[in-house]
Amino acid sequence: MDRLLHPADSDAGDQPISLSRRGLLGGSIGALTLAVGLRPVAAVAQAAATPLAAASAPAGPPFNPFTALLQIRSDSTAFLQVPVIEGGQGIFTGLAQVCGEELDLDPAHFVVQCAEPGPGIAALGTRLSTGGSSSMWRNFMPMRRMGATSRAMLMQAAAVRFEVPVDSLSTSDGKVIHAASGRHADYGDLAGEAAELPVPVDVPLRSADSFRWIGKSVPRIDMQDKSTGKVVYSIDLTIDGMLQAAVQHASRLGMQPVRLLNEAAVRQMPGVHSVHLLSGCVAVVADRWWRAHRAVQSLRAEWKEATGDTPRPMPADFSTEQLRQDMLAAPGPGFLAEAAGDAAAAMGRAAKTLEAVYDAPFLAHAQLEPPSAIASWDAARGRLELWMSNQASLLFRDAAAKFAGIAPENVTLHSPMVGGFFGRYFFYDESNPYLQAIALAKAVGRPVKVIWSREEEFLRDALRPAVLVRFKAGLDAQGMPLALESESVSDGLYARMYGAAYDKFDPTVVEGIAKKVYAIPNRRIAHVMHRYPPMIGAWRSVGHSFNDFFMESFTDEMADAGGIDPFELRRRMVARSPRHATLLEAVGDLSGGWRRGPFTAEDGSRRARGVAMASPFGTEMATIAEVSIAEGQVKVHHVWVAVDPGRAINPAIIEAQMNSAVALGLSSALFEEVVYERGMPRARNYDGYPILTPDRMPEVHVRIVESGAPMTGVGEPGVPGVPPAVINAVAALTGQRVRRLPLARASLGGSV
Amino acid sequence: MEITVNGAVRIVDAEPDTPLLWVLRDNLGLTGTKYGCGLAQCGACTVLVQGLPVRSCVTPVESVAGLPVTTIETVEQDDVGRRIVEAWVAHQVPQCGYCQSGQVMAATALLKQVAAPSDSDIAAAMTNLCRCGTYNAIAAAIRNVAQG
Amino acid sequence: MKRLLASLAIPVIAVLAVGAWFTTRIPASPFDGQGKSSLSTTLERGEYVARLGDCVACHSTERGAPFSGGLAMGTPLGTIFTTNITPDKATGIGSYTLAQFDNAVRRGVGPDGRRLYPAMPYPSYARLSDDDVKALYDYFMNHVQPVQQANQASTIPWPMNMRWPLALWSAAFTDGRVYRPDPSRDASWNRGAYLVEGPGHCGSCHTPRGLAMQEEALDGSAKAYLSGALLDGWYAPSLRNDHNTGLGRWSEEDIVAYLKQGRNRHGVVFGSMMEAFNNSTQFMTDDDLQGIARYLKSLPGDPDRDGPPWQPDSATTQMLSSGAAPAMPGAATYLARCASCHGRDGMGRGAWIPPLAGATSLLAPDASSAINITLNGGGRVVAGGVSDAYRMPALRSQLSDGQIAELLTFLRGAWGNKAAAVTAAEVGTLRQHTNPASSEVIVLQMR
């Protein structure tokens, strides 16, 4: 998964940061004059690639935080630019906590925004992308150093002003104080002077025992605005002189519009400015979006089939049902991803073997904010400004520059707050409206906002890959797993997203099956490459989202075959890993002690529980779900989650993320499936693609275990344990092993 | 066409079958009301018409002529609305926040009608979708307001 | 109409064999002996008749070339496919003489004497005037692009696939006569009667069928004519003046608006009627629509069949507006899934979203249409080239059979509606045999 975070890494440039429209998003900047310090490419700090490296990475070369990313406004609030987007995961609050801790400014006084590509972020030594649940661990030390450096400069400025030694000064929530004289100055008052000072190096950081905000359930900084509709998402933005556009995509990717059959009539519709043929779609530009939408829906075009040079056209006869048949038949052995011992030999001497085939469908992100993009094209200066939801602004900026025929530094890309993402906004070129916005802005000579209707979004989302896995296990005479073989049949996400060669296994296709903590001495884990047409992308917890379902369900099958309770089997298989053993006991304890059931609950319903463990992105998870069945439908009553992210920055946010992950994981287990027939997705809105409704939300109980391991993320890891915990509980309750998601496909009979 | 939004009469230039949602967002600049699905599936566009929750994406603007429309932008001017917002903040309900305008409006409508809703009243009234899964926090916040 | 069930096993078995000459003979046509060149009609004239007859709906598919056939029609005996009626000489009707064309359209007989399945509504097309048949022939021969596409054989097995018994069916159930104006009525009424009984073939869906799948009546002289029928998963309601289940509460203006705009204050076209509207009725002239309205409003209702007249009742509205959770599960589902559009008062939104209070589909004896549209949603209504602003979602993925049954049972008793309860089994049956409507805007091209 780490590769997802490795776009062309350097975002250093030699142009000043564009502040032209920052006021639009961040509010006024205040008193600071922004003379930007530039930094040569060579001086850019190397971004840490792992949580461990990030925790111990040395400070990069000094840079002036005031001129780059952290501005102190005249009212002593801080305007902080960070290299990640906020889409509900609480990272803006978390980074304000971390920076504020060192700056000595209450996180509540921060305004946080995603940075634009430019030298500031490069100097920080981190990455301008959001993913892999890495936003906190990547930015923890850089944000602290920036806060501490800023505080030192503010103190130095006060020392100059007060004409006292700097070590006679202290700070307290936005003020520098000279205790001896009783004098003090607000940060906002000192910021202008501080910004002119030389940048100190190796400013010491606070000791952990003096933290006021780090580790505490600090309230999120965007709650009031998000509860009153004041947050401005990409879809809400308006630019002076802007027109709005709607598109009608080709029904299948690769098809191109040839000509319009009723252009004159559509031009006459109210508000219509112009009608366009674009690559892969037709578009209407109008004064308002609804008018553009009505018009483009009425537009009739003649389409031609994809030409030979189209990378991956969608065939007219593609269906997911046929794909599944093909994947079932896809021959092994595939690319070896992990091997230990001698699986084949061990299988031969096993006391018992079992086999099973699991599969998981394509999934849509189904975030509530439909994609949109605004492009403003300055033809005279050859400059482009973009506003768009995205998780990888460097890649989008560079692609936008290429498309517009200008240098990347002539593109200013803003990344507004996103209305949910879950992996939706990585660099999937055909799944984002930004190129359409650029083409239209150039064509009409005015800024254009493109909004995809929900139906167009369901047609062009980059889906979670469909994956099928063939398992075989060998048990010893005591019922303990001796050998495990797996063949995962899927396309390669790296190949699709980054153009990786198809000549080896894809880590995302096996993550969760490979590198599993369980002590199974003989393993052969492989990836059978099977290419397919639908666009695929990262979906919250990526490969773990399906592989932990496969692996943890099959673990229960191994337990049953060996006559060992599934909780007990896991206990034995993690016995040599204290971190996992502790976590498993924690979730058992949280649920009131492990009981598989079936048992009769207080309300008279028959219930059972299932357990699952997962290690997504270095965070350790243990999950228990309790289910009953009524009228053939699974009801999940409780989900208990024990999460070990090494260390917790904001426990309340972690708990919220676990609730969120349970909802998404459960939604995927119960309902979700993108079905293609005749080359098109059957569902084009939430009516045909149901997502979890309030009445199906279980109670969620969370315990955070801080093992002290290097800090890892919390945004995605809660998801993958949920489907297998639920499926294992259903198996315990009904004796029926569901190996194909979603559960809505399974016939579970009546009340058990 | 004349419509009454947040207490003010507004003259808007729109076809009569235009959804109220898009009149609010594009004609009046009230972007707190969100577009999610356009099919009355998600509820992100919920506003109040005569105090009752209405999904504005499926409400032709013609059908609300002469009726009072309240949007998230003025919800805090209402005593119940203000308490709902306070509870939302206290319970740290939103995540991405995109659906929350609609959630707050639906909750406000419920509590204006039923001061002490039962859990089943809450379940019946709160049917808006949230992809971030804030459902438990929503229910807790409403119960909190209901209990005064 | 599209997937007309051509169940013909019964007559095959029931009728004794008679001379083969009868069952394979070529009937006489007034155009016998006329060549292809004796025609002089305009493109618009023939195209209009094709619109009236809605030929495109069955003889085209969404993805295929206009009139090249290939639409599958399910029957209890197997699937039949509509034929290529482009003027391609090898695979279409390019070599047909006018008389042969006439025999196919008005008498259901192919040039080789083979009988057509009455999925082709020739019992109604029999009413077509000679002039309209000539115009239609001219249109297909001279203005439709020839497309080489071979017809697909039906999947009906032998011996059920023998065509000759259809001649006996024709003899028994069609009268083969051209429309004869009623001198006691005005020209507009007569034009309307011609359109409804003839090219419009409204009875194909709206008239009940007998044991041999024959329409029980082919014109307004019989009470059964257009009195409502179940076909292909949709209950086509009465077009007579039945207060509850027909057009009793509709004015002539309402009927014209419905056929011209696809919507009025009583309802919006859906199911098979949406297809008829999208492809046919909206293209009719105002005078023709006025005639249709006039004719339909002259057909008396049947109070015995229709039951006591619907009266609005506001108790449901009050219950749904209280803010409290409804006690009935169906009402709770209505509030959660339906009330946003159809309203707590069940009145919909003007002409844009249809009312459910007093809705024909909820008062009809057969709940199939209500079940079907709840499961599968509505397709896109395209009026004057502009697609609809609002569409009915498909709820099949969200609601179980039991929940839909509860919902519809509630609706068939709400706001004064009085109709029989719906069972989960009925919903389950339709769920199995239907598919969700496409949310794509589909416009079948004629050229």
Interface of A with C in 688-747 (CB under 8 A): 688-690, 744
A207-221, C4-18, C330-344: range with lowest mean pLDDT? C4-18
Task: Report CA-CA distances (Å) from C419 to A80, C232, C244, C371.
Answer: 64, 21, 10, 14
Q: How many CB atoms lie within 10 A of CB B68?
A: 14
Cα(B14)–Cα(B27) distance, rounded to whole angstroms? 8
Cα(B68)–Cα(B65) distance, rounded to whole angstroms? 8
Residue A69 has pLDDT above 50, yes or no: yes
C11 lies within 8 A of chain A by CB: no
| A227/B37 Cβ within 8 A | no
Q: Which residues of C271-300 are buried (b: 16+ CB within 10 A; e: fewer)?
A: bbbbbbbbbbbbbbeeebbbbbbbbbbebe
Cα(A548)–Cα(C380) distance, rounded to whole angstroms? 41
* Tens of pLDDT, residues A584-610: 999 999 999 999 999 999 999 999 999
* C348 and C232 together in one domain: no
**Among the listed residues A149, A181, A148, the one whose alpha carbon sits nearest the alpha carbon of residue A164:** A181
Percent of chain A scoring above 90 in pLDDT: 85
- Domain extent, residue C103, equals 9-29+41-154
Chain A interface test: which of C440, C442, C443, C444 (most A C-beta within 10 Å): C440
Fold held by A2-227: Aldehyde Oxidoreductase; domain 4 (3.30.365)
Cα(A143)–Cα(A100) distance, rounded to whole angstroms? 9
* Beta carbons of A698 and A719 less than 8 angstroms apart: no
Residue A222 has pLDDT above 80, yes or no: yes
- Count of helix runs (H) and strand runs (E) in chain B: 5, 5
| B54/C340 Cβ within 8 A | yes
Cα(A663)–Cα(A653) distance, rounded to whole angstroms? 15
- Of residues C321, C323, C350, nearest to B62 (C-beta): C350
Residue A26 has pLDDT above 70, yes or no: no
Give A-chain residues touching B133 at CB under 8 angstroms.
659-664, 667, 692, 697
- Direct distance between the N- and C-terminal alpha carbons of chain A, in angstroms, rounded to an integer: 41
How big is the CA angle at C135 (ends C129 and C139), to the nearest 5 degrees?
145
Q: Note if the pTM is more than 0.80.
A: yes
Residue A63 has pLDDT above 80, yes or no: no
The ipTM, to two decimals, is 0.98
Helix (H, G, I), strand (E, B) or coil at A218: coil
In a domain, residue C208? The reply is yes
- Angle at which helix C130-142 crosses helix C43-53, to 10 degrees, equals 110
Determine the pLDDT at residue C310: 97
**Among the listed residues C380, C384, C378, C377, the one whose alpha carbon sits nearest the alpha carbon of residue C404:** C377
- Of residues B89, B94, B123, nearest to A694 (C-beta): B123
For residue A707, how many C-alpha atoms fall within 13 Å in the half-sphere facing its CB? 22
* C24 and C144 together in one domain: yes
For residue A12, name the pLDDT band (cuts at 50, 70, 90). very low
- Of residues B27, B33, B129, nearest to A693 (C-beta): B129
**Average pLDDT of chain A, as a whole number:** 91
Determine the pLDDT at residue A194: 93
DSSP string covering B21-70: HHIIIIIS--TTS--S-SSSSS-TTEEEETTEEEEGGG-BGGGGTTSEEE
Residue labelled with tokens 């008239």? C207
* Tens of pLDDT, residues A277-294: 999 999 999 999 999 999
* Beta carbons of B124 and B132 less than 8 angstroms apart: no
Which residues of chain B fall short of a pLDDT of 50? none
Mean pLDDT of C220-224: 93
Determine the pLDDT at residue A308: 82
A370-384, C158-172, C410-424: range with lowest mean pLDDT? C158-172
* Beta carbons of A653 and A94 less than 8 angstroms apart: yes
For residue C55, name the pLDDT band (cuts at 50, 70, 90). very high
- Angle at which helix A578-590 crosses helix A566-573, to 10 degrees, equals 150
Residue C9 has pLDDT above 50, yes or no: no
Task: Report CA-CA distances (Å) from C208 to A561, C204, C228.
Answer: 60, 8, 6
| A683/C389 Cβ within 8 A | no
Q: How many CB atoms lie within 10 A of CB B6?
A: 18
Say what the alpha-carbon torsion angle A703, A708, A712, A717 is, to the nearest 10 degrees: -30
Task: Report CA-CA distances (Å) from A45 to A40, A60, A142, A188, A710.
Answer: 11, 5, 10, 29, 21
Residue labelled with tokens 């190096």? A201
Q: How many CB atoms lie within 10 A of CB A146?
A: 28
Cα(A697)–Cα(A393) distance, rounded to whole angstroms? 34
* Tens of pLDDT, residues A333-343: 999 999 999 99
| B113/C352 Cβ within 8 A | no
CATH 3.60.15.10, domain A234-305+371-451, yes or no:
no
Say what the alpha-carbon torsion angle A53, A54, A58, A62 is, to the nearest 10 degrees: 150
Determine the pLDDT at residue C37: 52
Determine the pLDDT at residue C23: 78
* Beta carbons of A62 and A199 less than 8 angstroms apart: yes
* C376 and C262 together in one domain: no
Helix (H, G, I), strand (E, B) or coil at A82: strand
* Beta carbons of C291 and C195 less than 8 angstroms apart: yes
In a domain, residue C100? The reply is yes
Mean pLDDT of A54-64: 73
Determine the pLDDT at residue C15: 47
In a domain, residue C127? The reply is yes
The C-alpha of A745 sits at a distance from chain C's nearest C-alpha, in angstroms, of: 11
Percent of chain A scoring above 70 in pLDDT: 92
DSSP string covering A279-314: TTEEEEEESSHHHHHHHHHH--EEEEPPPTT-SS--
Determine the pLDDT at residue A695: 95
Determine the pLDDT at residue C159: 86
How big is the CA angle at A400 (ends A439 and A64), to the nearest 5 degrees?
140
Mean pLDDT of C170-183: 91
How big is the CA angle at A146 (ends A143 and A147), to the nearest 5 degrees?
85
A471-485, A505-519, A577-591, A738-752: range with lowest mean pLDDT? A738-752
The CATH number of A330-362+464-745 is: 3.30.365.10
Determine the pLDDT at residue A80: 94
Give A-chain residues touching B44 at CB under 8 angstroms.
368
How long is chain B? 148
DSSP character for A16?
Answer: P
* Tens of pLDDT, residues A294-314: 999 999 999 999 988 888 899
| B131/A420 Cβ within 8 A | yes
Q: Name the burial class of residue A33, with classes exposed (0-12), middle (13-18) and buried (19+) by CB atoms within 10 angstroms of its CB.
A: exposed
Determine the pLDDT at residue A174: 94
Cα(B26)–Cα(B31) distance, rounded to whole angstroms? 8
Mean pLDDT of A708-713: 96
Determine the pLDDT at residue C439: 86
- Of residues A262, A632, A687, nearest to C397 (C-beta): A687
Strand pairing class (A411-414; A383-388): parallel
Domains of chain C: total: 3
* Beta carbons of B105 and B75 less than 8 angstroms apart: yes
Cα(A470)–Cα(A468) distance, rounded to whole angstroms? 7
Determine the pLDDT at residue C103: 95
For residue A749, name the pLDDT band (cuts at 50, 70, 90). low
Task: Report CA-CA distances (Å) from C32 to C24, C96, C102.
Answer: 17, 12, 9
Helix (H, G, I), strand (E, B) or coil at A67: helix
- Of residues C400, C436, C441, nearest to A631 (C-beta): C400
For residue A631, name the pLDDT band (cuts at 50, 70, 90). confident
Cα(B44)–Cα(B72) distance, rounded to whole angstroms? 11
In a domain, residue C443? The reply is no
**Total beta-carbon pairs less than 8 A apart between chain A and chain C:** 41
Residue C11 has pLDDT above 70, yes or no: no
Element (H, E) at A58: none
* Beta carbons of B85 and B103 less than 8 angstroms apart: no
Cα(A36)–Cα(A68) distance, rounded to whole angstroms? 7
**Average pLDDT of chain C, as a whole number:** 91
* Beta carbons of C77 and C8 less than 8 angstroms apart: yes
Domain spanning B2-73, CATH class:
alpha beta
For residue A486, name the pLDDT band (cuts at 50, 70, 90). very high
How big is the CA angle at A311 (ends A305 and A316), to the nearest 5 degrees?
35
A37-51, A398-412, A581-595, C355-369: range with lowest mean pLDDT? A37-51
A392: left (phi over 0), alpha (psi -120 to 50) or beta: beta
* C344 and C264 together in one domain: no
| B124/C324 Cβ within 8 A | yes
* C330 and C294 together in one domain: no
In a domain, residue C83? The reply is yes
For residue A30, name the pLDDT band (cuts at 50, 70, 90). very low
* C240 and C356 together in one domain: no
**Domain locations in chain A as residue ranges:** 2-227, 234-305+371-451, 330-362+464-745
Give B-chain residues touching A289 at CB under 8 angstroms.
22, 25-26
In a domain, residue C175? The reply is no
Residue A12, phi then psi, degrees to nearest 5 = -75, 140
Cα(A335)–Cα(A465) distance, rounded to whole angstroms? 18
Closest-approach residue (CA) in chain C for A745: C397
Q: Name the burial class of residue A287, with classes exposed (0-12), middle (13-18) and buried (19+) by CB atoms within 10 angstroms of its CB.
A: middle
DSSP character for A604?
Answer: S
In a domain, residue C171? The reply is no
For residue A22, name the pLDDT band (cuts at 50, 70, 90). very low
Cα(A745)–Cα(A672) distance, rounded to whole angstroms? 10
Determine the pLDDT at residue A55: 77
Residue bearing the bigger pLDDT, A201 or A603 = A603
The CATH number of B75-146 is: 1.10.150.120
| A687/C395 Cβ within 8 A | yes
B106: left (phi over 0), alpha (psi -120 to 50) or beta: alpha
DSSP string covering C429-440: HHHHH--PPP-S
Residue A622, phi then psi, degrees to nearest 5 = -135, 130
Percent of chain C scoring above 90 in pLDDT: 77
Q: Which residues pair with C38 in a beta bridge?
A: none
Determine the pLDDT at residue A88: 96
In a domain, residue C361? The reply is yes
* C126 and C23 together in one domain: yes
- Of residues B39, B63, B123, nearest to C325 (C-beta): B123
